[in-house]
Structure formats: C-alpha cells, structure tokens
Chains A and B, each alone.
Chain A
Amino acid sequence: MDALLALYIFMLAAFTGYEIIAKVPVILHTPLMSGSNFVHGVVVVGAMIMLGQADTPVQQAIGFFAVALGAANAAGGYVVTERMLAMFKKKEL
C-alpha cells in the first residue's frame, strides 16, 4: 500500500477515535473500553489472511493460534460489551 495514503488514513482514523471518546460520559467509559476492545478484534481478519497464505507447518500453527486468539477477542469482546450495555438499555424504559 502507498505509504503516504496510509499516513492519511492513520491521521483521519486517529482523529475519529479521539472525537468519539472526547464527549463520552464517565458512565460509559467501561462499556466503551470494552466496545473498542471488540472492534480491534477485527485482527481476526488479518489472521485469516495470513493463515490463508501459510505454507509450512510452523506457519500453519502460528496462523491457527492467531485466528483462534483473534476470534476469541472478537467474540468475547462482543458478548461482554453487549451484556453491559443491555443493562443500561433496561434503565431507559
């Protein structure tokens, strides 16, 4: 990928992340930390790409490990965030 293009993406993404958090009430800090933890679970996609190209047993083993860890990050992050936010939802009613 073009390094300069990536730099622009880095900059805009960093700004986006900063803006999203800047206005969050304290009560949502824990769910949001957990939610952002879920979002970086997208690393599982990167792990799948690497496992998909792995061609030695060692690479396959590391790739398997990476996909399993990434999937756990995504699934676990989703479940705990959803459970926390479900309780806030109940209060709205």
Chain B
Amino acid sequence: MKDTPLSNCERDFLLKAIEEKKRLDGRQTYDYRRIKITFGTDYGCCFVDLGKTRVMAQVSCELVAPKENRPNEGIMFFNIELSPMASPAFEQGRQSELSVKLNRQLERCLRNSKCIDTESLCVVSGKTVWQIRVDVHMLNNDGNLMDASSIAAITALCHFRRPDVGIQGEEVTVYSPEERDPIPLSIYHMPISVSFSFFQQGTYLLVDPCEREERVMDGLLMIAMNKHREICSIQSSGGIMLLKEQVMRCSKIASVKVSEITELISEALQNDKAARKAGGRCGFAESMPQERITALKTDETPVETTDATERANDIVQRAEAPPQTVPSPVVPVPGVGQVGQQNTWGLEEEEEEDEEQEETRMEEDQDEDEESGGGDVVEISDSEEEEVVVLHPETTGKAKNTGSSSHQQAAAASQKRQKK
C-alpha cells in the first residue's frame, strides 16, 4: 500500500515553521523526543520509544562454525525488519532501500566500531563460536528510525546474557540457565547514533527529525558516537554540501546527546537488574502503561451518603459471619505458587467503588448491604481513581481476582466489619 502523500500545504507550513524556529510538537531545535526504554521478560529483549516511534530489539545466540579468515572470533549479525505494522509504506519480506540503508548503518555503528569483544565469543578455536544475532523490528514509524534502532540494539546487547559453556576435550556442553548463570557479553563502549536533518540547503538544522520533518528535509547527517566522544561512524545522505564548521557543530551536539542517552540506558539497565534481583515483576508486561479505553466516558453518579454510617453500623451488628472462602491459588510467575492475594486494602476499595457506580448506573435495586458498604467506602477512601473501567488484565492483583471477586469482596467486607 502506498504511503499518504505529503501535501504542498504541509510542506510549505513545515518549512515556514522551521524558518521561525518552531517545530510541530513544540520542541526546540536541539531537543530529542521523550525516550523510553523497557525490557521484555527474557534477557536481550528491549523496546525503545522515541516519541511515537517504537522499535523492538531482540538478541539471540547460536553456536556456529567461525569464518575461515577469523577462526577465533565470534560472529555478529544484524537484521532490521521494516514491517507494515510500522507504516503502510513498508512491505513485508522485501529488502527496501531504506532497510538496506538502516541495516548498513547499524552494522557500521555497532560491528565496525568493535564495541563488542568478539574474541570472547570463541568456544573452540576454528570449530565453534557464538553467533550473536540482533533483530530489530520497527513497530511504529514516526521518523528517526535509525537513532531508535541504534539505542534499542545496544541496550539489548547490554541486557543480553548468553548461556555458559563447558569444554571437556572435544565435547562442548551448553548449560541451561538453571545449571549455571548466563554470562553477559563484554561490551567495550556504547556507540549511539544521533541524526541531524538539514533544511534549505543546510541553513537550518534540527536534531531528531519526526516523520513529516524527514519528508521535507534536504539532507541527513548521522553521527554515531560513544560517551568518550569517539566518533564511531558518520554518514551524510541527501546530497547536500556541508561546511566543516557545521559538521564540527553537529559532532559537539552529538557528544552532549550521546552522554545523556548513555546515562538513560545505564539507568534503565540498572533498574531492570534491581527488579530482577528483587524477584519482583519485570519485563515489558509490567512496564506498559495501563491503557484505558473508556477514558472519554464521564457520567457522574451521585452517591447517597447521608446516614450511611449509622446504617452500616446497624447492618454490621445484625449481619452474620460470612462463609470462609479460600481464594484460588495465584501464579505470579511460572514456578511460583501462591494462595491469597498480595493486594492491599486500597485495591479492594477501588473495586467496590467501581462496582457500586456501575450498579447505580444500571438503576437496579441495590442490595442494602452493598449500598451501605459503598457509602462507607466513599467516606473513608480518598483514592483518586476515576470512573473508568480498566479492561486490560494487567499489573495489579485486581485483574487476577476477577474470577472470584464476589467472594473476595465479601471477605473484604467482613474484614472491614471486624476492624470496626
């Protein structure tokens, strides 16, 4: 499918805006969009969000025979996939000009800069070495795919752990992660690509162009640099003449941006490491924001709260003890069983509140018990939960106990009564 064409009106507007030092999303000339780095459940899986651009990198490894001219060096392989998911203009399974260009640039940025110690990937000299494969998938294209994929690739490589191997004579044993801890790759430095786009034959310069800016730009300069200010690769495309001063200025800007991004990456890696060490929840499923699809729905439901406390007390005194319920076992991660909920009071209360509001909306006859419970909740809770229904079964224990929610609610109510 063809991409949406760029109209003359957009082109004129963009160029005029750039002349006035304005950008579509309100950024300054040298600003990056918001970068967000998240990790998957496995080692070596990394998502990078650069504004609306979204890229996933996955590292995998394999034992192969080495290249003949380099018998004791591991092999690095980079692959960039431009799927139609990212943009309708990308076609499945065909090497487009853009994908070749991005692939080549990523190879130059990561392999040719020798940022990874390939000799440490040798298992038996001349026989077996590790092949490290980096797959970069574009999930959404809003410009500057190169920077996003270089960040994703290097972060995924830093995050990756390869299995340990043992050698007895000629025999090579690969140990599973349960037997021996996997080993991280040895990485000397982290090259990161920074893109500069030029407009009006190099008069104007922008960092991190978005998709529409990329379409109207005259030329592009990509500088890959590490935090020690060593340039790993530099590429100019689009066929514009750049002055020496311009390139120098770009490299200065790049050094600042690279040190910022490197810091962000190491912070993300540390956070993930800490989360894994603590045995907490990690991986992208936990780090995705809660997506609420009913955010537009805001009908208010008034809740009767007059004399709610008295009635509640009355009911609590008269009520009989609820039956003991054992919640169903919960499996937070494979291999770990758990009975009971780790959720807190707040969660229960929110749930009750939701339930209550839904019921009033349906204008059904309310159970007295329920109503008074709801009134009570409104009085004591100061949660800022809005009246939205979360449809994604994610993050909290809330999603997990939907099955047995009624039991739990009863249990929670009883707990509350006992508290009083």
A associates with B: no
B residues with a Cβ closer than 8 A to A are none
A interface residues (Cβ-Cβ under 8 A, vs B): none
